[in-house]
Structure 1
Amino acid sequence: MNFRTASAAIALAAGLAQGASAAAQQRTIINPVDIDYRYNFEQVNGDVSYRTGADPAIVNHKGAYYLFLTLADGYWRSTDLITWTFITPSQWPNGGVVAPALLSDGDRLILQPSHSFTQPTSIYVSDAPETGKLDYLVRRIDTQPNTADKSPEEMKPNEVPPGPWDPGLFKEDGQIYLYWGSSNVFPVYGRKIAFEGGRIIYQTPAEHLFVLKPEDHGWERFGQDHSGLLANGQPTKPYVEGAWMNKAGDTYYLQYGAPGTEFNAYANGVYVSDKPLGPFTYAPYNPIAYKPGGFVQGAGHGSSFQDRYGNWWNSGTPWIGYNWTFERRIDLIPGRIYPDGQMAFTSRFADFPFFAPTSKVEDPDSLFTGWMLLSYRAAATASSTRDTFTAGTVTDENPRTFWVAATKNAGETLTVDLGTEAVVRAVQVNFADYKSGRFADAPDIYTEFRIEGSRDGRDWHEIARTEPPRRDRPNAYLELKQPETLRFVRYVHGHIGGANLAISDLRVFGNSSERDPARPARIVARRHADTRDATISWQKVPGAVGYNIRFGIRPDRLTLTHQVWADELGTGAQLTKELRSLNKGVPYYVAVEAFNRAGVSRLSTTVPIR
C-alpha cells in the first residue's frame, strides 16, 4: 500500500489503542530489538569490545516479560514488548551467564546458566525479579558424575557430555524436566529433575532425544545459505543447540537451534511428542523461525512464549559478526499454532516496523504496519569521514559495513536523501562498534541524538529525538509522533558510548506516492535431484525494490519467507533464487510478492515445487 492508504492499515491493525492520546505513544517495534546490549570482551579480541546479544530466554511471568541473554550483566523487563528496562541483579555469577534456561513456575523465576565444563555453577531463584532480587536455589552443581573425569575431547557419542550446556527447563504437574545440548557430535538430551534442599536431583537417566539429520533436512546444513562450509571453505557438521520446551494443547514442542550461529541460515525447529520426554517426531514444516535474507539475518537459538493476550512469539539470535565471529543481536517475531498443531513464526517484513498487539491476534502477518523501507540505496552524505568508512554504506542494509565520523563530537551529522518526497513514519539508527574498547559499567555509555527532516535540504526541523532516561541504544528505533512529508532525513549526533561514532545503517520507514508494484507472474518452481534444494523463478517486476519468496507445506499456509533484494538478482527478465532449506519427502508450495517504497504487491499464483 502507498502513503495514501497507510492510515487505513493502521486503523485495521488488530488490538490498536484508539483515541488521540494513543497517536502520541509508540505502538510499533522492529528488529533487532531496541535494548541496551551490554559491552563484552572476548578472549580472542581482548583489546576490542562488542555488544553481546545472543541466546535469548524470555518468559511471561505474572504479566511481565523477562529477558535473559548470554554474557549480559543482568536482565531486562517489559510490560508491553516495546520498552525494555535493564535490571541490575542483587548477585550475579563472576563468569557471567551463558545460554541460560529460564522458568516461571507461577510464583518464582528460576534461572539456570549453562554449566561450565570446568567450573561449578549455581542456579538462581527470585520471587521478586522486578526488584533484581536473586537468591540461590542450588548453590553449586558439578559436572554430571558419569563423565566428571573426562574432557570434552574424550567423550564418545553414546556418553553424556559434561554440562548441561544450553539448558532448558519445563515444569508440568509439579514435575520439572531438564533439556540440554550444544554440539555437532552429541544429541539433545532430556531427563526428570527436582530441586530439593538446595540441590539438583537427577531423577531419571539422561535420555538421547534426537540428533540433526542434515542429509534429510536442508535447513540443518551448516554455513552461509546452507553451504555446508565454514567461512574458510572447509566442510563441517552442523550444530544443534538451544533446547526449549513449550506445550500447547496435548502437544509438546521441543525447540532447538541449528545449524550454526554465525551464518544467515541460523534457525529454530521443533520436534513434537505427546509426552515431555518423547519419543519425539520431527515436524515436517520445520524450520519454525527462519530469516536468511534482509537486514536482520538469522533467527536461531532462542525461546518461544505467549504474551498476556495469548499471542505466540519466538526470539532468536541474528548475526552481526564484525568485531568477533559471534557478535550478535536478538530478534522477536510473532507467530501462531494452527488448529492442526503446526507451529509457525512469520519473518515476513520482520525487520520492518510492526505493531505490538494489545489483544489477541489471529493472523500474525496483520501486525505488519505497511510502512516500507524508504532508504534502501539512497544517497547519503556526512559532516566528516574517517579513512575509507564513507557514508555511502549506511543505506545498504548490511550491518557489517558502516560509516565512521572523524570525531564523535556533538553536532556531527549524517544525511540521507530519499530522492523524492515521501511520508516518513519511523527511523532506526543502527550503530557499529568500531575499535570500541569499552566496558559495560563505564558511566558514559549512553546514546543521545536527534533526527531532523527537510523537504528541500535547506529548511530543517526536528522530527524525533532520544528521550530520558538515558541508556545505550545500539539499535535505536524512533517512531514519529505524527507522519512527516520529507525528502531528506538527518541524524544529528549528541553522544555515543563507543570509542567512535560509527553507524552501519540509517533506516527510514514510511510510504512513497508511487504505485504498489505489480503482481509477480510466470512463477516456476523446480525441485532438484537433491530434493533439499529448489530453484524458484519469476518475471521481473518493474520498480520492485525486493521480493519475498513465501513457501510452505500447504498451498494455503506459506509460513516461511526468504527475502531478496531486486538489485542482487541480476538484470534478466526472469529472476531466479535457489532455496536450500527443504525437507526430503515433504511437498512444498511457493508464491512470490514484490515490494517497493510504496507498498507490497498482491501475492502471485501459488504453485507446487516439483
Structure 2
Amino acid sequence: MPAISRLAAAATLGLACAAAAANGAPGRTWANPIDIDYRYNYEQMNEGVSYRTGADPAFVRYRGAYYLFQTLADGYWRSDDLVHWTFVKPDRWPFDGPVAPATLVADDKLFLMQAAMEPRPLLYSTDPDHGRWDFWTRLLPPIPGATPAGHEAEMKPGDQPPGPWDPGLFRDDDGKVYLYWGSSNVFPLYGIGVDLALDRTAEGEGKRVRFLGKPRPLLALHPDRHGWERFGPDHTDDRTVPYVEGAWMNKHRGTYYLQYAAPGTEYNVYATGVYTADAPLGPFRYAPYNPVGYKPGGFVVGAGHGSTFEDAYGNDWNAGTMWVAVNWRFERRIDLFPAGFHEDGQMWVDTRFGDFPQRMPDHRLGPGESTFTGWMLLSWRKPASASSALPGHGPELATDEDVRSYWVAASDAPGQTLTLDLGGPRTVRAVQVNFADYQAGRYGDAPDIVAQFKLEGSADGAHWSTLADLSRETRDRPNAYVELDRPARIRYVRYVHGHVGARHLAISDLRVFGNADGPAPAAPELLSAARGKDARDATITWKPVPGAVGYNVRWGLAADRLHETYQVFADHPTTLELRSLNKGVRYVVAVEAFDERGVSPLSRTLTLSP
C-alpha cells in the first residue's frame, strides 16, 4: 500500500481531538440493556432450556457505591458510576437464587429480602463489596392472617394470600419501616408496617422483626379504565386478566409514590405505574399520567418492575425489565432511564431514545437537560455479510433492530466475522454487540463463560484498523456496549470473533452509533390524532419523512410534558394504534422523525379530548 494511501486511511479512522473533546471524555456513556454479565439460568435446567437472563432490578446506593440485585442471580453487581459494573459473589448466600429482591438502607446497614411464599431469611451487610452477609433473622415471621403456602385452594374471598412475593421495603423519614408486596391477577398489592428493632438490642435473631397490625390492600388494576393495564402485545388481549406486581416506594416532598408493574412481563408493553398518597399506607390516588415508565417500541422493549433511586448528584433514575422471550417467556434484561418529578409532583421517566447511547452525568441535571448523546443508529437495515451462517439465521437479521431474531454462525471457532456496510462514510462513536442464546446449553456459572472479540473499521472495505480489542476480556458481556476511545470516520464495521461461552456464536443485533453528515430531518406532518370509540384507544397518523430511519410518537398531559414515547421504524406504516390511554384524561400528541444525521423538530401538537 503506498504511503499516501496509508496516511489517508489513517486519517479517515480518527477525527480531530477537538471533536472528541466537544463530546466529552470517553467512558461515561452506556446503552440499554445495561452491560452486565447476565447469568445463565438454572431454573429451567430440568426442562433443558438455557439462556441468560436478568429481571426485576433493585438498585440501591450504599456508602457511596451502587448495588444491583435482580432475579435469579448467584450474586449481585457493584458500581461506582452506574456505567461500569463488577459482579460480587457472596461468601454467605442462603438463597436458592433470590427472585424479585427488596433492598433497604437503615442504620448504616444494607438489608436484602427475597420474594417468598413462606418465611425466609432477612439478610444484612456492612461490607457488600466483599460479599459478606449475615442473618438479621433466619426466618421472617409469617405475615398476619396470610394463608400458608400450598393452601391457596382453600382460600375464601377476603383471605390474605401467602407472601411476601415481589417485596418492596421503605424507610420513612421518621425511621418507621414498611413492607409492600404482591404479584397476582387476583389479589391487590398490600402494605404493612415492620419493626426491625433497629433502635434497640434484640435478644436473638428471631426477635428482630415484627409486623405491625394487619396487611392493608393498597391498589389493584382497572384495565377497563386504564388501557395500558390490558394484557397482550400492544395491549391487544382483553380476555386475559392482567397481573399487578413489583411494588416499590419513594417519597418526594412529602408525597408517597407507590409504583407497580403491569400488565405482565411477557410482552413489549410491560410498564410501571404509580399511585400517590399523603401517608405510607394510603389511601392512594391513581396518577392520571400513567404509565410513568413505558417503552413498547424499539430494540429494547419493556420498562416494568424495577426501582427508582437517587444518584450521588441528586438525579433520579428508574430501572426496569426488558422483554426478550426467545428461549423462555421469562427471558429478560435490565434497562435504566432518567427519571424525576415536576414542581407540581408529577413523576416522569424518560424512555425516549432509551436504547441509544446515553451520557452518565457528573452533575445535577438542570430542568429539561437530557442524557441523550445525539449519537444516532447507523446500522438499521444495512447490508451485512458473514463468514458463515446457519439456514434461517442469516447476517441480515443482525441489523433489523429485533432482539428476537439473530444471525448464527455455522461455527463458533475464532475468526468468524460479521461485517456491516454503513452505506458511506460515517462518524462512528460506539458499537453494541448483542449476543443471543441459540441452543446455548449452559446453566449457572463457569470460567469459560466470557465474551471475547475485536471490532474493526474500514473506509474502503480493504484496509482495516482496530476500533476496540476485547480479545482478553475476562467476563461475559451478552450486551456488550463499546464506546470508542475516539470517533472513527469509516464506512465498514466488522465483528471478529474470539470466544463465547455458549455452544453457538449468535448475535441478535450489531448496533452501530454515531452520525452521518448533513442536517437533521424535517419535522413530520401530523395528519390526525383521534380517540377511538373505546376512549382507551387512539389512532395517530403522520406523513412519511424522506430518508427517515424512524419516528417517535410522543404524548402526555401537556405540550411540555410529552413523557410517553412509542418508537416506530420507517419500515412500518405511519399510523399507530395507541391502546395505552386512561379514560377521562386529556392528552397532547406530537411526532418527531430521526435518521442518521439527527432528530427533527416536533410536529404540530394535536389534542386527544377525554
TM over 0.5: yes
Is 1:382 the equivalent of 2:386?
Answer: yes
Aligned residue in 1 for 2:231: 222
Aligned residue in 2 for 1:124: 123
Give the distance between the partners of 1:88 and 1:364, measured in 2 at CA: 39
1:336 counterpart SS class: strand
Residue 454 of structure 2 contacts residue 471 of structure 2 at CA under 8 Å; is this kept in 1? no
Is 1:402 the equivalent of 2:406?
Answer: yes
Report the aligned-residue RMSD. 1.9
Residue 72 of structure 2 contacts residue 99 of structure 2 at CA under 8 Å; is this kept in 1? yes
Offset, 1:301:
0.2
Residue 310 of structure 1 contacts residue 360 of structure 1 at CA under 8 Å; is this kept in 2? yes
Give the distance between the partners of 1:77 and 1:511, measured in 2 at CA: 32
Offset, 1:357:
0.6
The within-5 A match list for 1:167-566 is 167-172=167-172, 173-196=174-197, 197=202, 198-199=205-206, 200-228=209-237, 235-363=239-367, 366-466=370-470, 470-566=474-570
Paired AA for residue 89 in structure 2: T
Give the distance between the partners of 2:51 and 2:129, measured in 1 at CA: 27
2:153 counterpart SS class: helix
Aligned residue in 2 for 1:78: 79
Offset, 1:555:
1.9
Offset, 1:439:
2.7
Aligned residue in 1 for 2:593: 594
Percent sequence identity is 57
Aligned residue in 1 for 2:576: 577
Offset, 1:149:
6.9
Offset, 1:11:
7.2
Aligned residue in 1 for 2:31: 30
Offset, 1:523:
3.6
Offset, 1:364:
5.9
Paired AA for residue 210 in structure 1: L
Offset, 1:387:
2.9
String of CA shifts for 1:176-207, please: whole Å, max 9, x gaps.
10000000000000000112442321111000
1:567 counterpart SS class: coil
Number of corresponding residues = 585
TM-score using structure 1 length: 0.93
Offset, 1:42:
3.2
Offset, 1:150:
5.6
Offset, 1:433:
0.6
String of CA shifts for 1:25-51, please: whole Å, max 9, x gaps.
312011000000001133386323111
The within-5 A match list for 1:138-153 is 138-141=137-140, 143-144=142-143, 146=145, 147-148=147-148, 151-153=151-153
Paired AA for residue 505 in structure 2: L
Larger deviation, residues 550-559 vs 520-529? 520-529
Give the distance between the partners of 2:383 and 2:42, measured in 1 at CA: 35
Give the distance between the partners of 1:601 and 1:558, measured in 2 at CA: 15
Residue 553 of structure 1 contacts residue 589 of structure 1 at CA under 8 Å; is this kept in 2? yes
Offset, 1:103:
0.9
Offset, 1:142:
5.6
Aligned residue in 2 for 1:572: none
Q: 1:521 to 1:12 in 2, by over 3 A?
A: farther
Offset, 1:390:
1.0
Is 1:165 the equivalent of 2:175?
Answer: no
String of CA shifts for 1:244-297, please: whole Å, max 9, x gaps.
000011110001010010101100011001100000000111111100000000
Paired AA for residue 601 in structure 2: R
Residue 383 of structure 1 contacts residue 412 of structure 1 at CA under 8 Å; is this kept in 2? yes
Give the distance between the partners of 1:171 and 1:8, measured in 2 at CA: 48
Give the distance between the partners of 2:56 and 2:303, measured in 1 at CA: 10
Aligned residue in 2 for 1:49: 50
Paired AA for residue 52 in structure 1: T
Offset, 1:94:
4.5
String of CA shifts for 1:584-603, please: whole Å, max 9, x gaps.
11100011100011110011
Give the distance between the partners of 1:364 and 1:448, measured in 2 at CA: 39
Aligned residue in 2 for 1:137: 136
Give the distance between the partners of 2:566 and 2:85, measured in 1 at CA: 29
1:130 counterpart SS class: helix
Larger deviation, residues 210-219 vs 462-471? 462-471
Offset, 1:9:
10
Larger deviation, residues 352-361 vs 382-391? 382-391
1:205 counterpart SS class: strand
Paired AA for residue 577 in structure 1: L
String of CA shifts for 1:142-169, please: whole Å, max 9, x gaps.
6535312762333345221101000000
Offset, 1:332:
0.2
Paired AA for residue 124 in structure 1: L
Offset, 1:385:
1.2
2:536 counterpart SS class: coil
Q: 1:499 to 1:363 in 2, by over 3 A?
A: farther
Paired AA for residue 331 in structure 2: E
